[in-house]
Amino acid sequence: MKAYVDENCIGCGACASICPEVFRMNDEGLAEAYVDPVPSEHEEGAQEAADSCPVDAIHLE
């Protein structure tokens, strides 16, 4: 599974709080997925983060 955050990110930090093993906040205050691919043990957390994103900026493939 791959994860990425698109340009709709508003920097709320929910994904980084829910799944810090995959998402972090960058220097611009926006989220980014920093592991590729998502380790299998963190796929559920990545999905929860995506489902919690208020602007649907997280995509999982």
Total domain count, the chain:
1
Rounded to two decimals, the pTM is: 0.95
CATH of the domain at 23: 3.30.70.20
pLDDT at 30 (0 to 100) = 98
Q: Tell me the CA distances in angstroms from 42 to 2, 7, 14, 27, 59, one per residue in order.
A: 11, 23, 16, 24, 15
Q: What pLDDT, on a 0 to 100 scale, did the predictor assign at position 29?
A: 98
Tell me the per-residue pLDDT of 16-48, one tens digit each, with 9 for 90 and over: 999 999 999 999 999 999 999 999 999 999 999
How much is the pLDDT for 39?
A: 97
What pLDDT, on a 0 to 100 scale, did the predictor assign at position 16? 98
Average pLDDT score over residue span 10-16: 98
